[in-house]
């Protein structure tokens, strides 16, 4: 393996401790079909020497029967495990792979490129920190590239690597690379994507994936692996606003009552005064416990059990926050909804909603606007509900008050899923945009500079759409 160490032979516990405390980067590969997403992941693992010998032997056998890379080794078979995926040479479901290097641990989500599996891509992206957008150097920025980039921006991913693949098929042309870079940068500006990297690669041959390519002397940036190892994630965490959704009440004996969950944001210390929502009761932190023992503080992502000095009625679905930083409660909000069910959304129908750890009922009053993910145009005249893979801004009303927070600022508490109450099937994923309590209609939308630029671009280039100025 690439991070082989003498510690493995001398002190295995020290080796495990060394790598257990490294940063973790969750990222996904997305883009249009046949752009080389699965091949790229296979190449990352292969060139990093992170494939075990038995897996490599099985890969060679599978390559003889189902390989789609000609005489070369089809590295996509490492990721595409379903029989239908191997037969068709496409990715259908999200495939996850774990690996680590000397500098960082990684979890990769390989997302499907086909339009009909857009919901799978949105699911895979929901837990990621970075997106690798694959673009075929021969085809440039396609509709699905735009669709996936829009979902990436909607889910609040702050880092994007544009991997311009199959450069070997365009003779590693610097001119072609610059053309695609300029085209995608326009899209990135429209979507408000700020931290964007561009890398010319050949996933099949390994150019600029792990090792720098001699075929691109004009490229002075880092390889894809180097970017993944060095991208800064600490600034992405919200360490100011403490949010702790209670998942489970731990009561092993009469002398212990703890509240289990994962810190969604912020930092909590022993002795901090906390408030319980929705009740508003307050108490101080008596202790913060983990499997390995008590700790003085907990950070975002830490799974802990919190004990309080006072006996307070707290149950699953409640939210612990700092007493001096209570967020607003509400029963109605506007939210971006990604519809994931074959049956269309029905406005006025009751659905179950799970927001954080809170489960309750809700109504989707109306679809305020539907986004055309192909053109990024917004349609405010939506007569019916949302169809499969559609994305829209919806007016959602809950049966009881919950903490309402903007997803972009608080992804841990601003995300939710909608559940069909008859079948118990998850039908949609959503991100809170703004509170609507006390309003008969949705307030006038505040548009970002990127959205105004997009509006201007559409009006100038596509007047037939009848897009109004904002």
Residue 179's Cβ-count burial label (10 Å; 0-12, 13-18, 19+) is middle
Give me the chain's average pLDDT, please: 82
**Judging by DSSP bridges, how do beta strands 95-100 and 104-110 pair with one another?**
antiparallel
In this model, does residue 89 exceed pLDDT 80? no
Which of 90-99, 164-173, 178-187, 341-350 has the lowest average pLDDT? 90-99
Hey, what CATH class is 329-465 in? mainly beta
d(CA 152, CA 142): 15
- Residue pair 337/428 in contact (Cβ under 8 Å)? The answer is yes
d(CA 22, CA 106): 10
Higher pLDDT, 150 or 96: 150
Residue 155's Cβ-count burial label (10 Å; 0-12, 13-18, 19+) is buried
Pick 7-236's CATH classification: 3.40.640.10, 3.40.50.360, 3.40.50.740, 3.40.50.300: 3.40.50.300
Amino acid 4: pLDDT: 52
- Indicate the pLDDT class of residue 79, thresholds 50, 70 and 90: low
> Looking at the DSSP assignment, which residues form a beta bridge with residue 392?
337, 370
- Residue pair 364/348 in contact (Cβ under 8 Å)? The answer is yes
Q: Assign 57 to helix, strand or coil.
A: helix
Model confidence pLDDT, tens digit, residues 440-458: 444 455 667 777 778 777 7
Amino acid 133: pLDDT: 92
Amino acid 84: pLDDT: 40
Phi, psi of 179 (to 5 degrees): -60, -50
The Cβ of residue 344 has, within 10 Å, a number of other Cβ atoms equal to 14
Question: Between the CA of residue 55 and those of 47, 94, 165, 393, 458, what are the distances in Å?
Answer: 14, 20, 25, 45, 50
Q: Assign 204 to helix, strand or coil.
A: coil
Please give the share of the chain, as a percent, with pLDDT higher than 90.
44
- Residue pair 30/148 in contact (Cβ under 8 Å)? The answer is yes
Question: pTM, whole model, 2 decimals?
Answer: 0.76
- Residue pair 357/246 in contact (Cβ under 8 Å)? The answer is yes
Q: Give Rg (Cα) of the chain.
A: 24
d(CA 335, CA 394): 5
Type and span of the H or E element at 153: helix 143-154
Amino acid 226: pLDDT: 93
In this model, does residue 3 exceed pLDDT 80? no
Model confidence pLDDT, tens digit, residues 395-415: 999 999 999 899 988 888 899
Q: Assign 179 to helix, strand or coil.
A: helix
Pick 244-322's CATH classification: 2.40.30.10, 3.20.20.220, 3.30.1060.10, 3.30.420.40: 2.40.30.10
Cis before 267 (ω within 30)? no
∠ CA 113-131-389, nearest 5°, is: 40
% helix / strand / coil in the chain, to the nearest 5? 25, 35, 40
Domain limits, the chain: 7-236, 244-322, 329-465
Amino acid 461: pLDDT: 76
Domains 244-322 and 329-465 share a fold: yes
d(CA 17, CA 25): 18
Amino acid 82: pLDDT: 40
Q: Assign 395 to helix, strand or coil.
A: strand
Q: What is the DSSP letter of 211?
A: B
Model confidence pLDDT, tens digit, residues 248-297: 999 988 889 999 999 999 999 999 999 999 999 999 999 999 988 999 99
d(CA 57, CA 73): 12
Amino acid 53: pLDDT: 57
The separation between CA 415 and the C-alpha centre of its own chain, rounded to angstroms, equals: 11
Higher pLDDT, 103 or 263: 263
Give the torsion sign (CA, 332, 262, 96, 137).
positive
Give the torsion sign (CA, 362, 363, 366, 367).
positive
In this model, does residue 177 exceed pLDDT 90? yes
Max Cα–Cα distance, the chain, nearest Å: 72
């Amino acid at each position: 393996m690439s991070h082989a160490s003498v510690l493995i032979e001398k002190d295995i516990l020290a080796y495990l401790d060394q790598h257990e405390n490294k940063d973790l980067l969750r990222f996904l590969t997305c883009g249009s079909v046949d752009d080389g997403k699965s091949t790229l992941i296979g190449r990352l693992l292969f060139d990093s020497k992170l494939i075990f010998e038995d897996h490599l032997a099985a890969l060679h056998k599978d390559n003889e029967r189902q390989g789609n890379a000609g005489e070369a080794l089809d590295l996509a078979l490492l990721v595409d495990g379903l029989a239908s995926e191997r037969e068709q040479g496409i990715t259908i479901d999200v495939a996850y792979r774990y690996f680590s290097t000397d500098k960082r641990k990684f979890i990769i989500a390989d997302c499907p490129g086909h339009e009909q599996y857009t919901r799978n891509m949105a699911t895979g992206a929901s837990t990621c920190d970075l997106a690798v957008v694959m673009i075929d150097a021969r085809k440039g920025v396609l509709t699905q590239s735009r669709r996936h980039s829009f979902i990436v921006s909607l889910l609040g991913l702050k880092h994007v690597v544009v991997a311009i693949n199959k450069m070997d098929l365009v003779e590693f042309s610097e001119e072609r690379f610059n053309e695609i870079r300029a085209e995608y940068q326009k899209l990135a500006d429209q979507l408000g994507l700020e931290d964007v990297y561009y890398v010319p690669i050949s996933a099949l041959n390994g150019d600029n994936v792990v090792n720098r390519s001699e075929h691109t002397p004009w490229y002075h940036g880092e390889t894809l692996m180097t970017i993944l190892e060095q991208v800064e994630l600490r600034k992405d965490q919200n360490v100011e606003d403490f949010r702790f959704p209670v998942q489970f009440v731990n009561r092993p004996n009469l002398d212990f009552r703890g509240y289990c969950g994962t810190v969604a944001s912020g930092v909590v210390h022993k002795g901090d005064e906390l408030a319980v929502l929705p009740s508003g009761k307050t108490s101080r932190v008596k202790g913060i416990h983990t499997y390995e023992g008590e700790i003085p503080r907990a950070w975002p992502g830490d799974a802990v059990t919190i004990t309080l000095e006072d006996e307070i009625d707290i149950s699953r679905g409640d939210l612990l926050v700092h007493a001096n930083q209570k967020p607003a409660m509400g029963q109605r909000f506007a939210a971006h909804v990604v519809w994931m069910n074959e049956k269309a959304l029905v406005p006025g129908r009751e659905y179950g909603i799970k927001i954080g750890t809170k489960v309750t009922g809700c109504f989707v009053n109306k679809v305020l606007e539907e986004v055309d993910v192909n053109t990024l145009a917004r349609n405010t005249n939506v007569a019916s509900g949302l169809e499969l893979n559609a994305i829209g801004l919806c007016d959602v009303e809950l049966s009881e008050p919950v903490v309402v927070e903007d997803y972009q600022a608080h992804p841990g508490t601003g995300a939710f899923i909608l559940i069909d109450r008859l079948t118990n099937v998850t039908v949609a994923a959503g991100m809170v945009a703004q509170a609507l309590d006390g309003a008969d209609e949705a307030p006038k939308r505040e548009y970002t500079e990127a959205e105004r630029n997009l509006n201007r671009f559409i009006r100038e280039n596509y007047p037939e759409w009848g897009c109004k100025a904002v």
